[in-house]
Structure 1
Amino acid sequence: MRRQFPLISRRVATAAVTAALIGGAAACGPEKSGDGAQGGGAQGAPHKGGTLTVLNREPQQDFDPARLYTSGGGNIPSLVFRTLTTRNRENGAEGTKVVPDLATDTGRASEDAKVWTYTLKDGLKYEDGSPITSADIKYGIERSFAPELSGGAPYLRDWLVGGDTYQGPYKDAKGLDSIETPDARTIVFHLRKSEGDFPFLATSTQFAPVPKAKDTGTKYEEHPVSSGPYKVVKNTGDGERLLLERNPNWSEETDKERHAYPDTIDVKAGLSSAVINQRLASAQGADAAAVTTDTNLGPAELAQVAGDPKLAARVGTGHFGQTSYLAFNPKVKPFDDPKVRAAISYAINRTSVVNAAGGSSLAEPATTFLPNQKSFGYTPYDHFPAGKTGNADKAKELLKEAGHGDGLEITLTHSTAQDFETSPEIATAVQAGLKQAGITVKLEGLEDNDYKERIHNVAKQPGLFLAHWGADWPSGGPFLAPIFDGRQIVKDGANFNTAQLDDPKVNDEIDAINKITDLGAAGRRWGALDSAIGEQALTVPLFHPVYKRLVGKDVKNVVISDWTGVLDVSQVAVK
Structure 2
Amino acid sequence: MAAAIVAAASFAVFGGNDEAENPSVAAAHDRTDERGGTLKALSLGPVLSWDPQRIGSRDDAAFAGRIFLRTLTAYQPSTDPRNQSRLVGDLATDTGTPSQDLKSWTFTLRDGVAWEDGSPVTCEDVSYGISRTFATSVITGGSTDALAVLGVAKQPNGGSVYAGPYAGGPYAAAGQAAFDKAVSCRGKTITFTLSSPVSDFNEMVAQPAFAPFKKSADKMGDGTFTVFSNGPYKLSAPWRTSTGGAWVRNPHWSASTDEVRKAYPDRIEYQEGIETQTVAQQIMADGDNSRAAVALGSAPPAIQQHVLTVDALKERSVTAGTGLVDYLVPNYKSPTFAKIEARQALSVATNRAAYVTALGGGATSRPTTSLIPSALPASHTEDPLDAGTGGRAGEAKVLLGKAGLTIPVPIRVAYRSSPVADKAMASLVAGWTEAGFAPTVTPLKDEYFTTISRPEAAGAYDVFWSNWAPVGASASTIFPALFDSSINVSAAGPGRDYGYFNDPKVNAEIARINTISDRVEREDAWAALDVQLQTQGAYIGLAERRALYIAGSDVRNLSANEVIGGVVEFADIAVRQ
The answer to whether the superposition gives a TM-score over 0.5 is yes
C-alpha deviation, 1:33, in angstroms? 9.0
**Matched residue, 2:73:** 85
The one of 39, 45, 63 aligned to 2:50: 63
5 Å matches for 1:461-500?
461=458, 462-491=461-490, 492=492, 495-500=495-500
Q: Which amino acid aligns with 2:146?
A: L
Distance 1:514 1:570 in 2: 31
**Matched residue, 2:232:** 229
C-alpha deviation, 1:364, in angstroms? 1.5
Q: For each residue in 1:490-548, what CA deviation from the matched residue of structure 2 results, as whole angstroms up to 9, or x when unmatched? A: 54378111232232221222122112232111111111111112211121111112221
- Residue 460 in 1 paired to residue 462 in 2? no
For the residue of structure 2 that corresponds to 1:319, the secondary structure is strand
Distance 2:192 2:209 in 1: 14
2:52·2:211 contact (CA, 8 Å) conserved in 1? yes
2:376·2:475 contact (CA, 8 Å) conserved in 1? no
Distance 1:220 1:500 in 2: 40
2:464·2:498 contact (CA, 8 Å) conserved in 1? no
For the residue of structure 2 that corresponds to 1:548, the secondary structure is strand
- Residue 129 in 1 paired to residue 132 in 2? no
For the residue of structure 2 that corresponds to 1:288, the secondary structure is coil
**Matched residue, 1:181:** 184
2:152·2:182 contact (CA, 8 Å) conserved in 1? no
C-alpha deviation, 1:168, in angstroms? 0.8
Q: CA, structure 1 residues 31+350, in 2 after alignment: closer, same or farther (shift >3 Å)?
A: closer
Q: For each residue in 1:250-303, what CA deviation from the matched residue of structure 2 results, as whole angstroms up to 9, or x when unmatched? A: 11110111111111111111221211111121122232111123x222332123
Distance 1:299 1:180 in 2: 47
5 Å matches for 1:462-541?
462-491=461-490, 492=492, 495-541=495-541
5 Å matches for 1:307-456?
307-375=309-377, 377-418=378-419, 423-449=421-447, 451-456=448-453
Residues 235-244 or 266-275, more deviating:
235-244
1:195·1:515 contact (CA, 8 Å) conserved in 2? yes
For the residue of structure 2 that corresponds to 1:96, the secondary structure is coil
For the residue of structure 1 that corresponds to 2:424, the secondary structure is helix
1:46·1:556 contact (CA, 8 Å) conserved in 2? no
C-alpha deviation, 1:95, in angstroms? 1.2
2:433·2:439 contact (CA, 8 Å) conserved in 1? yes
Q: Which amino acid aligns with 1:97?
A: R
C-alpha deviation, 1:202, in angstroms? 0.9
Q: Which amino acid aligns with 2:247?
A: L
Q: For each residue in 1:217-260, what CA deviation from the matched residue of structure 2 results, as whole angstroms up to 9, or x when unmatched? A: 12223432111111122344436412211110011110111111
For the residue of structure 2 that corresponds to 1:322, the secondary structure is strand
Q: Which amino acid aligns with 2:197?
A: S
Q: CA, structure 1 residues 380+458, in 2 after alignment: closer, same or farther (shift >3 Å)?
A: farther
**Matched residue, 1:555:** 555
**Matched residue, 1:269:** 272
1:179·1:187 contact (CA, 8 Å) conserved in 2? no
- Residue 75 in 1 paired to residue 63 in 2? yes
C-alpha deviation, 1:48, in angstroms? 1.3
2:54·2:224 contact (CA, 8 Å) conserved in 1? no
Distance 2:295 2:320 in 1: 13
Q: Which amino acid aligns with 1:57?
A: L
The one of 89, 95, 105 aligned to 1:100: 89
Q: CA, structure 1 residues 87+396, in 2 after alignment: closer, same or farther (shift >3 Å)?
A: same
The one of 149, 169, 175 aligned to 2:165: 169
C-alpha deviation, 1:361, in angstroms? 2.7
Q: CA, structure 1 residues 77+455, in 2 after alignment: closer, same or farther (shift >3 Å)?
A: same
5 Å matches for 1:109-148?
109-146=98-135, 147-148=137-138
Distance 1:476 1:429 in 2: 29
C-alpha deviation, 1:70, in angstroms? 5.8
C-alpha deviation, 1:371, in angstroms? 2.3
1:317·1:549 contact (CA, 8 Å) conserved in 2? yes
**Matched residue, 2:142:** 152
Distance 1:493 1:535 in 2: 25
Q: CA, structure 1 residues 485+113, in 2 after alignment: closer, same or farther (shift >3 Å)?
A: same
**Matched residue, 1:7:** none
Distance 1:242 1:487 in 2: 45
For the residue of structure 1 that corresponds to 2:325, the secondary structure is strand
1:409·1:441 contact (CA, 8 Å) conserved in 2? yes
- Residue 198 in 1 paired to residue 201 in 2? yes
Q: For each residue in 1:290-345, what CA deviation from the matched residue of structure 2 results, as whole angstroms up to 9, or x when unmatched? A: 1123x222332123223321111111011232321111111123222222212211
Distance 2:516 2:372 in 1: 19
Q: Which amino acid aligns with 2:52?
A: P
Q: Which amino acid aligns with 2:452?
A: I
The one of 252, 265, 280 aligned to 2:283: 280
**Matched residue, 1:17:** none
Q: For each residue in 1:74-118, what CA deviation from the matched residue of structure 2 results, as whole angstroms up to 9, or x when unmatched? A: 123431111111110112121122111000011100011110000
Note the aligned Cα RMSD (angstroms).
2.3
1:229·1:260 contact (CA, 8 Å) conserved in 2? yes
Distance 1:3 1:182 in 2: 32
For the residue of structure 2 that corresponds to 1:199, the secondary structure is helix
Q: CA, structure 1 residues 343+180, in 2 after alignment: closer, same or farther (shift >3 Å)?
A: closer
Q: CA, structure 1 residues 222+384, in 2 after alignment: closer, same or farther (shift >3 Å)?
A: closer
Q: CA, structure 1 residues 160+331, in 2 after alignment: closer, same or farther (shift >3 Å)?
A: same
Q: Which amino acid aligns with 1:452?
A: F
Q: CA, structure 1 residues 228+299, in 2 after alignment: closer, same or farther (shift >3 Å)?
A: same
Distance 2:536 2:121 in 1: 50
2:341·2:400 contact (CA, 8 Å) conserved in 1? yes
Distance 1:269 1:453 in 2: 29
Distance 2:289 2:71 in 1: 31
Q: CA, structure 1 residues 386+180, in 2 after alignment: closer, same or farther (shift >3 Å)?
A: closer
Q: Which amino acid aligns with 1:433?
A: G
2:85·2:376 contact (CA, 8 Å) conserved in 1? no
Residues 401-410 or 104-113, more deviating:
401-410
- Identical-pair percentage: 30
Q: Alignment length, in residue pairs?
A: 542
For the residue of structure 2 that corresponds to 1:66, the secondary structure is helix
2:276·2:300 contact (CA, 8 Å) conserved in 1? no
Q: Which amino acid aligns with 1:460?
A: A
For the residue of structure 1 that corresponds to 2:237, the secondary structure is strand
For the residue of structure 1 that corresponds to 2:279, the secondary structure is helix
Q: Which amino acid aligns with 1:269?
A: E
C-alpha deviation, 1:182, in angstroms? 3.6
Distance 2:242 2:139 in 1: 16
Distance 1:493 1:187 in 2: 38
| TM-score, normalising length: structure 2 | 0.89
Q: CA, structure 1 residues 84+406, in 2 after alignment: closer, same or farther (shift >3 Å)?
A: closer
C-alpha deviation, 1:456, in angstroms? 2.2
